[in-house]
Amino acid sequence: MSKSDDLLTSTTAIVPGIEELTGEASAVKLRTRLNLGERMVGPVAGVACLVVILILLTSGSYLSTIFEDILIFAIAAMGIDFLGGFGGLITLGQAGFLGVGAYGVAIAEEHGFTAWAAIGISVAVLLGLAALTGVVAVRVSGITFVIVTLAIGQIFWGLTYQWTSLTSGDNGISLLSAPSIGPWSLSNTMPLWVTTFIVFVVIMGLLLLMVRSPFGLSLRGMKNNEPRLRALGYRTGIQRYIGYVIASFVAGLAGILYIFSNHLVSPASLTFSQDGFLVLMVIMGGLGTIWGPVIGAVIVVMFQQEVSTYISRWETVMGIVFIAAVIFTPGGIADLLRKGQLVVHRLIVTMRHDGGSPLAVATASADGLGGAARSLDSDGPKGSPPQSTGDRPTTDETAGRVQQ
Amino acid sequence: MSTTSTTEPTAGAPALDRRPPALELDKLTCRFGELTAVGNVSLTVPEGSRFGIIGPNGAGKTTLFNLLSGELRPTSGTVALFGKDVSKLSPPQRVQLGLGRTFQVVRVFNMLTVRENLTLALSGLSRSKLQLFRPWRTYRAQQARAEELAASFGLGDRLELIAGELSHGELRELEVMLALATEPKVLLLDEPAAGLSPAERVDILALLSRLSKELTVVMIEHDMQVLRSAVDWVAVLDHGELVTQGPTLEVQRHPAVRELYLGSAAHQGGEHDGASA
Ligand SMILES: Nc1ncnc2c1ncn2[C@@H]1O[C@H](COP(=O)(O)OP(=O)(O)O)[C@@H](O)[C@H]1O
Ligand SMILES: [Mg+2]
């Protein structure tokens, strides 16, 4: 039923008339068309990846290191986006879990385990720590959640710094060996790169699947209106807990890849500024998209690697870029891309109906921008509930919060 | 305060008193600092009844609902749902036991589409809500149910619209739909007709009259016309206390109610001529 409905609306969306630019009908179609736009993302990303692989095949290991970094941080950032962009809970302690994943492997190897066993141990430790800290983290929401997750990350950082018998403190630990299957060894550039890429694609696919699942929908409901979700029978603590464990585990997996790419992990990888960079990738790229943070990772890592060789105060530059990004594109680059796509689409449509005057084109695209911003900004100005006509509209809202 | 002596003027319990109680409120009290929003209210709502709650603005009606649904914890007193004390349970736990509610200030998922709103509500009590690896759109039976529900409220063509873009009347209907989707046994409606045009009022009344007879409905409502057609028993609150209760027509004629209620109605423009019935 719903599938044929979709099909119907999308065909009308491809050949729409000008009249659809007004009224509610346009809102319906606008949305359908954006879904179409979203469907384009996969192929576009695939082509981009092919290009990247071709570049890599013909280039030295310096570039491939940058691309590994991008993919690794993008994995962690996508995890943050899963919980933050969809569930409305921003975690600021994910560098801590990235560190746990990396240290887990390095420490286990130092204690005589093989690389494969070390990965297994690291995964187990990750799950355990995510499950444990989750119990604390999900008791709070909003800004308190941010602070609690930051504290958790900082505890991990403190441990790596102070528990010197286990972590060698400031010096960090070097990787002893990388896993291999026959000739395919992660100590070689190409296999490592391809493996990282495969893990990246799999995680991205799983996260994209999960945000479309009933659980993903409940995360979005939680972000939009948690009291209402509770009034529909959802014990939202469970939603938060699962989301937190998934995001933390994903960051830890990135950490496992990180140690094989970087060969060394030290407390510097778990610092607050690392947390900041991860969140920066998500916000710059676009919250609530999963793929947006990948673009954010490209930009941030490029900045770290490239700009730092020319400008010594590159972190200041990064900060300025960040503030500009938040002010001018609150929806991130993903949102910019979608708006751009919409404008182009409108232009094509108007030109096809060639009766359209330049003025109509201009108003059409302006309308498109407004509409896109409205229906896509996950926390735009429409965040407040619709006006009430009852007595004292605030009463109900405050009442809802008392018990939380 | 002076009128509290007439707490139980007539039969003492609703006409359907042979049915077992769906809700029992025992000396329910809720204070906000100095203010007693709900004071010592004891009520019994029998299964399958249509129960109205009226009272001037600030009487504590919404607070009473918040106590019933678990949004607020009582300062003292208890709430029992089908004989089970639920006073200490959270809102989602009470939903699991068959309690559904709407909010006076519309609370829908205004960033999500109508379809997504309904899907969330329909999954609320199903196990699939924690399913991670299957798109929610592929739950065919559930989607069919969402479409059917929307169609029955005349919103079949609004499914793909972001809820925030609905008209006020449609939002009110969606609010009721969300509560109904959880298939409650007791439904609490907080001013479902507030801010609606007369035509929309007729619509929502028609909808309410089509609800299953098994369903227990408690409704806060100002409009006497709506009350007369939708409920058969009315409890009157003022300053958090139960003033009186009884069959709708009797309560309308009650002198304390006329003083309280028509007094405040007159201020609002005198459109409620409840006495003429
Ligand atoms: N969460 C709260 N905190 C403090 N005071 C409240 C709260 N909720 C309601 N009140 C007060 O309790 C009284 C009853 O409010 P309410 O239950 O909303 O009345 P009604 O729904 O009958 O109009 C009002 O005086 C209101 O200001
Ligand atoms: Mg109220």
CATH of the domain at A294: 1.10.3470
**What is the per-residue pLDDT for B17?**
56
Taking contacts as CB-CB distances below 8 angstroms, the residues of chain B near A31 are 113, 160-162
Task: Provide the number of structural domains found in chain A.
Answer: 1
The stretch A267-282 carries a mean pLDDT of 85
**What is the per-residue pLDDT for A57?**
58
Top mean-pLDDT range of A78-82, A171-175, A386-390: A78-82
**What is the per-residue pLDDT for A28?**
42
Residue among A295, A372, A390 at smallest CA distance from A335: A372
Residue A296 clears pLDDT 60, i.e. is over it: yes
pLDDT 10s digits, A193-232 = 888 888 999 999 999 999 999 999 999 999 999 999 999 9
Q: What number of other Cβ atoms are within 10 A of residue B132's Cβ?
A: 14
* Domain interval for residue A251: 60-328
In a domain, A15, yes or no: no
Compute, in angstroms, the gap from residue B58 CA to the centroid of ligand 1.
Answer: 6
pLDDT band with cut points at 50, 70 and 90 for residue A397 = very low
The stretch B125-153 carries a mean pLDDT of 90
Taking contacts as CB-CB distances below 8 angstroms, the residues of chain B near A230 are 90-92
**What is the per-residue pLDDT for A11?**
35
Would you say A127 and A120 are in contact if contact means Cβ atoms under 8 Å apart? no
pLDDT band with cut points at 50, 70 and 90 for residue A59 = low
**What is the per-residue pLDDT for A383?**
37
Interface test with chain B among A39, A86, A217, by most B beta carbons within 10 Å: A217
Residue B129 clears pLDDT 50, i.e. is over it: yes
Would you say B53 and B95 are in contact if contact means Cβ atoms under 8 Å apart? no
In a domain, A384, yes or no: no
Q: What is the distance between the alpha carbons of residues B247 and B253, in angstroms, rounded to a whole number? A: 10
In a domain, A67, yes or no: yes
pLDDT band with cut points at 50, 70 and 90 for residue A17 = very low
Angle at B156 between CA B150 and CA B159, to 5 degrees: 85
Contact residues for B243 (Cβ-Cβ < 8 A; gap 6+): B3, B4, B6, B7, B55, B236, B237, B256, B257, B260
Would you say A31 and A53 are in contact if contact means Cβ atoms under 8 Å apart? no
**What is the per-residue pLDDT for B64?**
95
DSSP structure class, residue A259 = H
Residue among B272, B276, B277 at smallest CA distance from B260: B272
Give the residue with greater pLDDT, A368 vs A150: A150
**What is the per-residue pLDDT for A1?**
39
- The residue of chain A with its CA nearest to that of B196 is A389
In a domain, A31, yes or no: no
Q: Give, as residue ranges, everything with CB less than 5 Å from ion ligand 2.
A: B 62, 104
Dihedral sign (CA A219, A225, A231, A237): positive
Q: Say yes or no: A236 contacts chain B, CB-CB below 8 A.
A: yes
Residue A283 clears pLDDT 80, i.e. is over it: yes
Q: Name the pTM for this structure.
A: 0.79
Interface test with chain B among A1, A2, A398, by most B beta carbons within 10 Å: A2
Compute, in angstroms, the gap from residue B241 CA to the centroid of ligand 1.
Answer: 13
Q: How far apart are the first and last CA of chain A?
A: 40
The stretch A263-275 carries a mean pLDDT of 84
Q: What is the distance between the alpha carbons of residues A14 and A16, in angstroms, rounded to a whole number? A: 6
Would you say A257 and A196 are in contact if contact means Cβ atoms under 8 Å apart? yes
Average pLDDT, chain A: 75
Contact flag A375-B162 (C-beta cutoff 8 Å): yes
Every domain of chain B and the residues it spans:
1-9+17-95+222-272
* B60 CA closest ligand 1 atom index: 17
Average pLDDT, chain B: 85
Taking contacts as CB-CB distances below 8 angstroms, the residues of chain B near A208 are none
pLDDT band with cut points at 50, 70 and 90 for residue A43 = low
Q: Which bin fits B79, alpha (ψ -120 to 50), beta or left (φ > 0)?
A: beta
Q: Which bin fits B12, alpha (ψ -120 to 50), beta or left (φ > 0)?
A: left
- Among B34, B61, B63, B237, the mutation site with the greatest number of ligand 1 atoms within 8 A of its Cβ is B63
In a domain, A341, yes or no: no
Angle at A25 between CA A24 and CA A31, to 5 degrees: 95
pLDDT band with cut points at 50, 70 and 90 for residue B47 = very high
Q: What is the distance between the alpha carbons of residues A214 and A71, in angstroms, rounded to a whole number? A: 28
Atom 14 of ligand 1, nearest CA residue: B60
Residue among B101, B98, B120 at smallest CA distance from B109: B120
**What is the per-residue pLDDT for B89?**
94
Kindly tell me the number of DSSP H helices and DSSP E strands found in chain A. 18, 4
Percent of chain B residues past pLDDT 90, beyond the cut: 55
Compute, in angstroms, the gap from residue A393 CA to the centroid of ligand 2.
Answer: 8
Please give all residues whose beta carbon lies within 6 A of any atom in ligand 1, as ranges. Answer: A 391, 395, 398-399, 402; B 32, 35, 37, 55, 57-63
Distance (Å) from the C-alpha of residue A28 to the closest C-alpha of chain B? 5
The stretch A85-90 carries a mean pLDDT of 90
**What is the per-residue pLDDT for A335?**
75
pLDDT band with cut points at 50, 70 and 90 for residue A60 = low
Residue B195 clears pLDDT 60, i.e. is over it: yes
H or E segment at B29? Answer: strand B21-32
Residue B228 clears pLDDT 80, i.e. is over it: yes
Residue A120 clears pLDDT 80, i.e. is over it: yes
Give the residue with greater pLDDT, B263 vs B181: B181
Give the residue with greater pLDDT, B69 vs A286: B69
**What is the per-residue pLDDT for A394?**
39
Residue A26 clears pLDDT 50, i.e. is over it: no
Would you say A399 and B62 are in contact if contact means Cβ atoms under 8 Å apart? yes
**What is the per-residue pLDDT for A232?**
95
Residue A402 clears pLDDT 70, i.e. is over it: no
**What is the per-residue pLDDT for A242?**
95
Would you say B91 and A200 are in contact if contact means Cβ atoms under 8 Å apart? no
**What is the ipTM for the molecules in this complex?**
0.85
- The residue of chain A with its CA nearest to that of B180 is A232
Residue A75 clears pLDDT 90, i.e. is over it: yes
pLDDT band with cut points at 50, 70 and 90 for residue A50 = low
SS3 B10: coil
Yes or no: is domain B1-9+17-95+222-272 CATH 3.40.50.300?
yes
Among B66, B164, B178, select the one facing A232 at the smallest CB separation: B178
- Among B32, B66, B69, B243, the mutation site with the greatest number of ligand 1 atoms within 8 A of its Cβ is B32
Q: What is the distance between the alpha carbons of residues B74 and B95, in angstroms, rounded to a whole number? A: 18
Top mean-pLDDT range of A26-35, B21-30, B246-255: B21-30
The stretch A61-84 carries a mean pLDDT of 87
Top mean-pLDDT range of A59-63, A256-260, B270-274: A256-260
